[in-house]
């Protein structure tokens, strides 16, 4: 049996550091190459020594596919390609190619210049790495080599996020990256063909959550922000540079306008402008509403939202600040948090998932004090709110995707171990297919069915089409093609029997199956035959049932009645050739039931 082998180097029963090795049909593919935000040591990057301890990875990897620009999916890419060594192709969509290097550079600065991390990639390495990137368009089939084919599908989630369909020979796999099955204020919903892959590797961040309606969450969010502003508090919203930030900005901007609010909203990002430019540049990737209104007004030119300056941190009075990064693990959002946390009038709203080890994760789990590396202790008196605005599919969405693409097997990654285990059970029960949840470094081997491609001769196809099309359309009707398999020049061809005989120069012999049925029917045999003829015509309205010289025939099935005209006992002979097996047994059972 052919096999698929999958080994996560990251994101196996965990969120962060997504990196999954896939082997199929002699090809090795790396799916994502992310970093872990919860670690500062060597655990932040995937353990590439799993692939080889000896020199560059190029001989061992046929291609790398990056699903989207989030750093937990691409943050280790320059390290992998420039420091470990990889010269093969790296595939990603155009927006990802444009945005990823900016986020990588930003992260590099924070890690090296602010935290003083060693053994990190340089700006030049990011540039060298990006030269190896091949940008792909949605639904465009790309041949990596003569056997390995990939295709990107829209994933929602963030600008440029894609799911990838990967095919080698008769085996195929879909890797979702992060995706969202419901459209939001700025992006559409994920979509994929009914491609029936051998394996669907899906993220499972919200494996156990079925989220309430988006509208409720938005109302709740606005209410909480408004209440905090009213009591003179400050609201901190840690975000990633691109994605939820834009969505929440659109939300607040509209609300401020409608409620005529005066408290300032700041967007604390050097990246904002660049980010918004990307949304303008890749407007076709956003949802329909934004595309429509774009003609009159750019949704990303905000009236109430102003750029933030660090000096504003200590300003008196209420304000709302969006700051990066989203998990409070470094940078400006963390600086502001330290200042505002001890005041109970203030509020922090976490709009997305936080990985273990980050300050965001700690306070979401109710920590009232947070200790930092320099022994600084910050008391958390501000209210901490969590609102899942992050654009991941929830349990319902994951089930929906499985229904859409009908995989033979499912593998869950990018989720916490217990949550994944729970959803795994549910998937196995509901769809009756295998579901896998490997840990990091654990290899799952999945066997796939043997598929042998065969040609069908043109005359056979034509005659079949003629027969099939003569009948009224019915999607449930089975379409059976009869023929003989002929091996020719190492190819297998399905041919019409007569055609094959002619080609091989042999005579055709036909074997008929004959059954006899004893029935009681007074009167001459001919009248019994007439009765059978009427019965078959009634039961087989779609078929040509003919009657000639005392014999009834339907296709190759022949029915004949014999017996003494003065005696009621009659013998009915039913015979057919093997290609009318279905029809023959049906007619036989009809006549049998008559005889009883």
Token pair 């905000």 is found at 302
> Contacts with Zn ion in 476-535 (CB under 5 A)?
none
Taking the complex as a whole, how short is the minimal distance between the CB of residue 248 and Zn ion, in angstroms? 16
Using the minimum distance from each CB to Zn ion, give the nearer residue, 178 or 253: 178
Q: State which H helix or E strand residue 5 sits in.
A: strand 3-10
| Residue of 160, 347, 171, 317 lying closest to 242 (CA atoms) | 160
Using the minimum distance from each CB to Zn ion, give the nearer residue, 36 or 167: 36
Asked if 70 touches Zn ion (CB under 5 A), the answer is yes
Taking the complex as a whole, how short is the minimal distance between the CB of residue 77 and Zn ion, in angstroms? 15
**In this structure, what token pair is assigned to residue 81?**
């390609």
Name the phi and psi angles at 339, rounded to 5: -75, -40
Distances (CA, A) of 361 to 17, 37, 300, 396: 16, 11, 30, 24
In SS3 terms, 35-49 reads as CCCCCCCHHHCCCHH
Asked if 218 touches Zn ion (CB under 5 A), the answer is no
Name the phi and psi angles at 110, rounded to 5: -60, -45
Taking the complex as a whole, how short is the minimal distance between the CB of residue 161 and Zn ion, in angstroms? 7
Taking the complex as a whole, how short is the minimal distance between the CB of residue 364 and Zn ion, in angstroms? 18
Name the phi and psi angles at 71, rounded to 5: -65, -25
Taking the complex as a whole, how short is the minimal distance between the CB of residue 390 and Zn ion, in angstroms? 8
Using the minimum distance from each CB to Zn ion, give the nearer residue, 177 or 357: 177
Using the minimum distance from each CB to Zn ion, give the nearer residue, 19 or 554: 19
In terms of Cβ atoms closer than 10 Å to its own Cβ (0-12, 13-18, 19+), residue 288 is exposed
| Residue of 494, 564, 555 lying closest to 526 (CA atoms) | 564
Binding track, positions 30-69, relative to Zn ion; x by CB under 5 A: ----------------------------------------
Taking the complex as a whole, how short is the minimal distance between the CB of residue 412 and Zn ion, in angstroms? 16
Using the minimum distance from each CB to Zn ion, give the nearer residue, 162 or 347: 162
Helix (H, G, I), strand (E, B) or coil at 492: strand
Using the minimum distance from each CB to Zn ion, give the nearer residue, 159 or 320: 159
What residues contact 254, with CB distance under 8 A and at least 6 apart?
Answer: none
Taking the complex as a whole, how short is the minimal distance between the CB of residue 155 and Zn ion, in angstroms? 9
**Rounded to whole angstroms, how far apart are CA atoms 279 and 300?**
8
Asked if 27 touches Zn ion (CB under 5 A), the answer is no
Distances (CA, A) of 345 to 82, 316, 376, 413, 468: 48, 12, 22, 39, 75
Token pair 């022949």 is found at 558
**In this structure, what token pair is assigned to residue 121?**
């990639």
> Contacts with Zn ion in 321-380 (CB under 5 A)?
none
Q: 147-179 burial, b if ≥16 CB within 10 A, otherwise e?
A: ebbbbbbbbbbbbbbbbbbbbbbebbbbbbbbb
Taking the complex as a whole, how short is the minimal distance between the CB of residue 67 and Zn ion, in angstroms? 8
**Residue 80 contacts residue 57 (beta carbons within 8 Å):** yes
Using the minimum distance from each CB to Zn ion, give the nearer residue, 179 or 256: 179
Using the minimum distance from each CB to Zn ion, give the nearer residue, 354 or 380: 354
- Please identify every residue annotated as catalytic: 203
Binding track, positions 436-475, relative to Zn ion; x by CB under 5 A: ----------------------------------------
What residues contact 83, with CB distance under 8 A and at least 6 apart?
Answer: 119, 121, 125
**Residue 523 contacts residue 535 (beta carbons within 8 Å):** no
Size of the site for Zn ion (CB under 5 A): 2
Using the minimum distance from each CB to Zn ion, give the nearer residue, 62 or 203: 203
Distances (CA, A) of 381 to 200, 273, 327, 369: 44, 33, 18, 9
Taking the complex as a whole, how short is the minimal distance between the CB of residue 68 and Zn ion, in angstroms? 6
**Rounded to whole angstroms, how far apart are CA atoms 299 and 293?**
7
Binding track, positions 270-309, relative to Zn ion; x by CB under 5 A: ----------------------------------------
Binding track, positions 165-204, relative to Zn ion; x by CB under 5 A: -------------x--------------------------
Residues near Zn ion, by CB under 5 A: 70, 178
């Amino acid at each position: 049996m052919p096999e698929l082998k999958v080994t996560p180097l990251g994101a196996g029963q965990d969120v962060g550091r997504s990196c999954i090795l896939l082997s199929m049909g002699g090809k090795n593919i790396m799916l994502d190459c992310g970093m872990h935000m919860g670690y500062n040591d060597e655990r932040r990057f995937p353990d590439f020594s799993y692939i080889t301890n000896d020199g560059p990875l190029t001989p061992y990897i046929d291609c790398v596919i990056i699903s989207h620009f989030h750093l937990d999916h691409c943050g280790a890419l320059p390290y992998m390609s420039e420091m470990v060594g990889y010269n093969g192709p790296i595939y990603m969509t155009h927006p990802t190619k444009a945005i990823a290097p900016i986020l990588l550079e930003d992260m590099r600065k924070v890690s090296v210049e602010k935290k003083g991390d060693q053994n990190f990639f340089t700006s030049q390495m990011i540039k060298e790495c990006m030269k190896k990137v091949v940008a792909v368009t949605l639904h465009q089939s790309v041949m990596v080599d003569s056997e390995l084919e990939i295709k990107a599908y829209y994933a929602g989630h963030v600008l440029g996020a894609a799911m990838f369909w990967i095919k080698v020979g008769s085996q195929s796999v879909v890797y979702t990256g992060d995706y969202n099955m419901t459209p939001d204020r700025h992006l559409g919903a994920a979509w994929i063909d009914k491609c029936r892959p051998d394996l669907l590797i899906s993220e499972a961040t919200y494996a156990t959550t079925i989220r309430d309606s988006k509208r409720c969450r938005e109302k709740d969010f606005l209410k909480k922000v408004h209440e905090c502003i009213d009591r003179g508090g400050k609201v901190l919203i840690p975000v990633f540079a691109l994605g939820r930030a834009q969505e929440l900005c659109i939300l607040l901007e509209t609300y401020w306008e409608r409620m005529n609010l005066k408290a300032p909203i700041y967007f604390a990002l050097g990246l904002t402008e660049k980010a918004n430019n990307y949304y303008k540049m890749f407007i076709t990737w956003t949802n329909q509403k934004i595309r429509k209104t774009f003609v009159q007004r750019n949704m990303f030119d905000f009236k109430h939202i102003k750029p933030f300056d660090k000096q504003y941190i200590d300003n008196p009075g209420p304000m709302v600040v969006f700051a990066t990064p989203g998990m409070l693990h470094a940078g400006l959002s963390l600086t502001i948090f330290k200042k505002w946390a001890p005041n109970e009038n203030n509020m922090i709203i976490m709009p997305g998932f936080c990985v273990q080890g980050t300050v965001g994760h700690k306070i979401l789990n109710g920590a009232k004090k947070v200790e930092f590396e320099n022994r600084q202790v910050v008391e958390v008196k501000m209210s901490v709110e969590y609102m899942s605005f992050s654009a991941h599919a929830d349990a319902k969405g994951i089930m929906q995707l499985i229904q859409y693409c009908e995989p033979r097997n499912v593998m869950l990654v990018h989720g916490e171990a217990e949550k994944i285990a729970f959803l795994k059970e549910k998937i196995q029960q509901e769809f009756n297919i295998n579901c896998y949840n490997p840990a990091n470094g654990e290899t799952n081997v999945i066997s796939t069915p043997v598929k042998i491609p065969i040609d069908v001769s043109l005359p056979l196809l034509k005659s079949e089409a003629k027969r099939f099309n003569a009948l009224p359309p019915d999607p449930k009707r089975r379409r059976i093609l009869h023929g003989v398999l002929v091996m020719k020049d190492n190819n297998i061809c399905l041919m019409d029997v007569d055609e094959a005989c002619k080609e091989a120069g042999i005579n055709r012999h036909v074997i008929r199956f004959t059954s006899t049925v004893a029935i009681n029917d007074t009167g001459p045999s001919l009248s019994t035959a007439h009765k059978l003829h009427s019965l078959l015509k009634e039961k087989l309205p779609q078929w040509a049932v003919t009657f000639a010289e005392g014999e009834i025939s339907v296709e190759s099935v022949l029915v004949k009645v014999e017996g003494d005209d003065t005696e009621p006992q009659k013998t009915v002979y039913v015979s057919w050739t093997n290609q009318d097996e279905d029809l023959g047994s049906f007619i036989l059972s009809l006549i049998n039931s008559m005889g009883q």
